[in-house]
A and B are shown apart, each in its own frame.
Chain A
Amino acid sequence: MSVPTTSRPPSRPRLGVFKFASCDGCQLTLLDCEDELLGIADALEIAHFLEASGDPAPGPYDLSLVEGSVSTPEHVERLRRIRAESRHLVTIGACATAGGVQALRNYADVGEYLAAVYARPDYIETLATSTPISAHVPVDFELRGCPIDRGQLVEVITAFLAGRKPGIPNHAVCFACKRRGNVCVTVAHGTPCLGPVTHAGCGALCPTYGRGCYGCFGPAGTTNLPALVPLMHRDGMGDEDIDRFLHTFNVTAFTAVEEEGPG
């Protein structure tokens, strides 16, 4: 049984929300926009959003939000179809933008991983890597975070509706941390913090709660990673610890920065 659509303009832009390998947290962020949710639903036709809505409608879509990384052969196919049907494609979150936490497998033997989790690894279809959406199709905008920030998501949707570029600054967490008036955890307590090299967006949450930033938004635009390493050594971290610290939620993104230097 479906309810007839009432008095809305028939030509609202069509939104699609799609999921690949992920935890659903980034699309849940859309449902967590309680104050804006019904407004968004008014401004956009929610054509495809399996988590929230029955009756998914076929494309084309004006705006597609894509969550999750590419990690099975089926993903590669489905992603190409979605791209072909989408006017704007925005990735949401660290999985879609940088391969996510599951990209830890990219540095391991997946056969061995399969054997560790499954008694019959031969039943499972998987790729040896977990890769960002941009490794497979062109992407119009990448929203970072694990998870993404609600305010930034609303900005991306608003910018799309207004036909302008999203106003998401490229600066580091330290900037937000200073603005929030936090005491620097590295300076005051010798706590290792990835704030200087991490993209802003979380509002400097970790330092606000007394811990070091763990890099869930990936590298900031102007990152000088080598300058941070001696500080982390000073604060008691060995090379292996630093390696693990950098390679967790945005495994591949920080590796790229290490290899290519500041972007």
Chain B
Amino acid sequence: MNDPATRSQVLRVPALSRVEGETALHLRVHEGTVEEARLNIYEAPRFFEAFLRGRSHTEPPDLTSRICGICPIAYQLSACRALEDVCGVVVDGQLAALRRLLYCGEWIESQTLHIHLLHAPDFLGHDDVIGMSRFHPAHVERGLRLKQTGNAVVELLGGRAIHPVNVRLGGFHRTPTRAELRPLAERLRTALDDARDTLRWVAGFDFPDAECDADLLALTEPGTYAIESGTPAVLPYDRALPRRGFPLGDFSEHVTEEQVPHSTALHSRLDGRRHLTGSLARYALNGHLLSPTALEAAREAGLGAPPLTSETEDGRPGEVCRNPYRSILVRAVEVLYAVEEALRIISVYERPARPYVEAPARAGIGHGATEAPRGLLYHRYALDGEGRVTDARIVPPTAQNQGAIEEDLRRLVQAGLDRGEDSEDELTRLCERAVRNHDPCISCSAHFLELDIVRTPGPV
């Protein structure tokens, strides 16, 4: 086992758990050097982009939500924005605020699920949340309560937590009254304390050193932490290069997809380079737009001031957190922010006169993107004059992050090998953690992590 130079074999170890969907992992180690780390996503292809063609322009929000049960709101709202873009419709005012409220519910629910049920067991040395609950019952109960509150937001506005029915082109089928939102506000106030406690809890975890060297991509929106709308912005890894942005309509020119033989998920690149979307990218690009309390809590939890914060303007450079293990901290900050934001929206809510604005079909191409909990989710539709979809393109966050995850795997396994961690168990644990750091949602791209290590012998 400890002399890789004399080994040539394939090792198989148990499937990767605690990710949404399933995937396999392939590692090639030659003379103690990781030569290749591949995420083999072989989720059965489900052909959404193909069968959307011929459907009416009102249908993609309900249909595409079935791509992923973990972030249906992200799919519904990215689809709505793209279709509204074709129809020349802008949804604003209280309807836009309600959409953001609904999305905050999904952020709270999904990020909390990942923090407590999927990711924290890694830091505390448990196989799963059930095992963890025996030793840390209060933390698990708080997580479940917080998740329930997120679900309650989605259920009230959407009807149910998974594949909600109330979202439609132009807004909602039915908007809530102020009185209906009141009980939600009460639960959210409890959630505010729970979110703070969660952040303090995860801040006490032990974070291994690591750095992800990908360019960071997130939507940005003037004056607010982008969630349900925005324009793509990039923070390059190379600090000598400036932060840049591009119009959403040019997304396909910048983020190109490439099919690789080992995966049903397409691999994307941003201007030819590896990139990462999601919590770390959002915090780096938009952290300065968080609420003062969320920022303060982030700093207390040990996250540096994000670049562009007011105090960094007088000289002190901000910090970009690129440690994928620390993404759990950023997620916890985002939960806190989403709870505050939900409370804010409810406090100024006035029921709009109409639940939706009419979005009559017209021929054209439209683009829509939103910040799914796992990162930027882009949709593009082409419609004919009758409102039939003639072409659909969907770029989920996991497909974009795949390259960065593989590079992370390569580095972390190499570091492990260099420390002499060479057993199947140790390597599997490292790989699983590396993948879970990114909370990949494999259902949206594609199944089943089996580690398969091929070790080839060196020259004698």
A-side residues, CB < 8 A to B, are 1-3, 6, 19-26, 28-29, 31-32, 34-35, 37-38, 41, 46, 49-56, 68, 71-72, 75, 100-102, 104-105, 108, 110, 112-114, 116-120, 123-124, 126, 130, 146-147, 202, 205-206, 208-211, 214, 216, 241, 244, 248-249
Contact = CB atoms under 8 A, between A and B. Distances in A.
Interface stretch (B155-163, B198-206, B229-237, B324-332): B155-163
A53 B118 CA distance: 8
A23 B118 CA distance: 18
B264 interface: yes
B261 A123 contact: yes
Contacts of B130: 38, 41, 46, 52-53
A210 B129 contact: no
A31 B264 CA distance: 27
A22 B448 contact: no
A101 B264 contact: no
Contacts of A119: 258-259
Contact of B47 (A49, A113, A146): A113
Nearest to A19: B22
Interface of B: 14-22, 43-51, 53, 55-56, 59, 62-63, 66-70, 72, 113, 117-118, 121, 125-135, 140, 144-145, 147-148, 151, 159-163, 165-166, 168, 172-174, 258-259, 261, 264, 266, 355, 432, 443, 447-448
Given A54-B127, A117-B45, 9 more contacts: A23-B66, A29-B162, A34-B151, A38-B133, A51-B21, A114-B45, A118-B45, A202-B160, A209-B173
Contacts of B160: 147, 202, 205
A100 B443 CA distance: 14
A53 B127 contact: yes
A30 B45 CA distance: 24
A209 B133 contact: no
A1 B365 CA distance: 52
Contact of A113 (B16, B50, B56, B174): B50
Contact of B447 (A19, A29, A126): A19
Contact of A211 (B20, B72, B145, B173): B173
Given A41-B130, A53-B130, A105-B47, A146 B70 contact: no
Contacts of B355: 210
Nearest to B172: A209
A16 B43 CA distance: 19
Contacts of A112: 50
Contacts of B159: 205-206, 208-209
A23 B127 contact: no
Contacts of B261: 120, 123
Given A2-B127, A50-B448, A75-B44, A24 B20 contact: yes
Contacts of B68: 23-25
Given A22-B443, A54-B127, A205-B160, A126 B44 contact: yes
B45 A146 contact: no
Contacts of B72: 25
A211 B53 CA distance: 24
Which 6 residue pairs of A and B lie closest in terms of their CB atoms, listed nearest first? A25-B69, A53-B128, A21-B44, A113-B50, A54-B127, A104-B51
A241 B264 CA distance: 32
- Which of B47, B161, B264, B355 has most A Cβ within 10 Å? B47
A116 B163 contact: no
7 contacts: A19-B22, A24-B20, A51-B20, A52-B129, A56-B14, A110-B47, A202-B160
B163 A25 contact: yes
Contacts of B44: 20-21, 68, 71-72, 75, 126
A205 B62 CA distance: 14
Given A26-B69, A28-B70, A56-B15, A108 B51 contact: yes
A108 B50 contact: yes
B152 to A, nearest CB: 10
Contacts, number: 195
B162 A25 contact: yes
B55 A244 contact: yes
A117 B133 contact: no
Contacts of B117: 31, 52
A112 B47 CA distance: 10
Nearest to B137: A38
Contact of A3 (B134, B147, B432): B134
Nearest to B21: A24
- Which of A3, A35, A49 has most B Cβ within 10 Å? A3
B443 A23 contact: yes
A146 B163 contact: yes
Nearest to B133: A38
A27 to B, nearest CB: 8
A248 B63 contact: yes
B333 to A, nearest CB: 23
Nearest to B158: A209
B448 A120 contact: no
A50 B165 contact: no
Contact of A249 (B66, B145, B174): B66
Nearest to B262: A123
A32 B161 contact: yes
B374 to A, nearest CB: 13
Given A2-B127, A3-B135, A31-B113, A117 B49 contact: yes
A21 B127 contact: no
Nearest to A6: B134
A211 B168 CA distance: 10
Contacts of B172: 209
Nearest to B163: A147
Contacts of B447: 19
A16 B355 CA distance: 43
B144 A34 contact: yes
A120 B443 CA distance: 21
B128 A32 contact: no
Contacts of B113: 31
A205 to B, nearest CB: 4
A144 B144 CA distance: 26
B259 A244 contact: no
A250 to B, nearest CB: 12
A189 B51 CA distance: 30
